[in-house]
Amino acid sequence: MSTLAQEFSKGIFKENPIFRLLLGMCPTLAVSITAINGFGMGVAALFVLLGSNLVIAALRNFIPSKVRIPAYILIIATFVTIVDMVLNAFTPDLHKALGIFIPLIVVNCIILGRAEAFARKNSVARSVIDALGMGVGFTLSLTILGIIRELFGKGSIFGVGVMGSAFEPMGILATAPGAFITLGIMLGFVNFMFKRLGIE
């Protein structure tokens, strides 16, 4: 049995959902245009993951295993609807920028993956820690990608200009091909770092 601290940190390093498990690639590519979008998406997914892991772990002895997948999807969809409405009410700009990718958190493989692989076999406390770790790992990765793409694509970080007026933004980083290429290179870099640091 791993300790709670290990349970938390595995989502950030060893089993980072984006860079290690390659889960949730669609929102990663689509919303990492700016740091704030990436961060917002990460927090939205973190909330859904937390809620679904909590409820699924609490109900794990009551959900018959034959219908577990539809039951999980229903629980996840409920939390996604809550996030959708909350974001629409309090941060309409972010809601508009993330667009269709908010309802699509339902089919984000990270969330169903954690429900199936972790929450249905573990206690509520451990599932919550697992969700926090995974969610923070996802948010961090998304924000880092967003910072890189915003810094070089627009010359700013979190909407604050930092590069000065002499900087010519690399427009491609803000477009679709830029998303694929940045993530591909980041993935190679992370693989390299993990090998260097001896984490496998």
Partner 1 sequence: MNLLAIVFVAILANNIVLNQFLGICPYLGVSKRIETSLGMGMAVIFVMAMSGIVTWIVYNYLLEPFGLVYLRTIAFILVIAGLVQLVETILKKTNPTLFRALGIYLPLITTNCTILGVALLNVQAGHNIIQTIVYAIAVAVGFTIALVIMAGIRERLELASVSSFLRGAAVSLVTAGILSLAFMGFKGMMTL
The site for partner 1 (CB under 8 A) is made up of 22-23, 25-27, 29-30, 69-70, 73-74, 77-78, 80-81, 84-85, 100, 103-104, 106-109, 112, 172, 175-181, 183-185, 187-189, 191-192, 195
- Looking at beta carbons only, is 161 or 171 nearer to partner 1? 171
DSSP letter, residue 67 = G
How many Å apart are CA 187 and CA 181, to the nearest integer? 10
What DSSP letter does each residue of 170-193 carry, written as one string? -GGGGSHHHHHHHHHHHHHHHHHH
CB of 93 to partner 1, least distance (A): 18
CB of 92 to partner 1, least distance (A): 16
Does residue 158 contact residue 36 with C-beta atoms inside 8 Å? yes
Looking at beta carbons only, is 4 or 63 nearer to partner 1? 63
Closest distance to partner 1 from the beta carbon of 175 (Å): 7
**Dihedral pair phi/psi, residue 190, rounded to 5°:** -65, -40
> Least Å distance between CB 85 and partner 1?
7
119 contacts 130 by C-beta, under 8 angstroms: yes
State the minimum distance, in angstroms, from the CB of residue 75 to partner 1.
10
| Cα–Cα distance measured from residue 192 to residue 10, given in angstroms and rounded to the nearest whole number | 18
Q: Which is nearer to partner 1, 106 or 134 (CB)?
A: 106
Strand partners, 157: 160
Nearer to partner 1, 2 or 191 (CB): 191
Tokens 């609490």 found at? 58
Closest CB to partner 1 among 43 and 183?
183
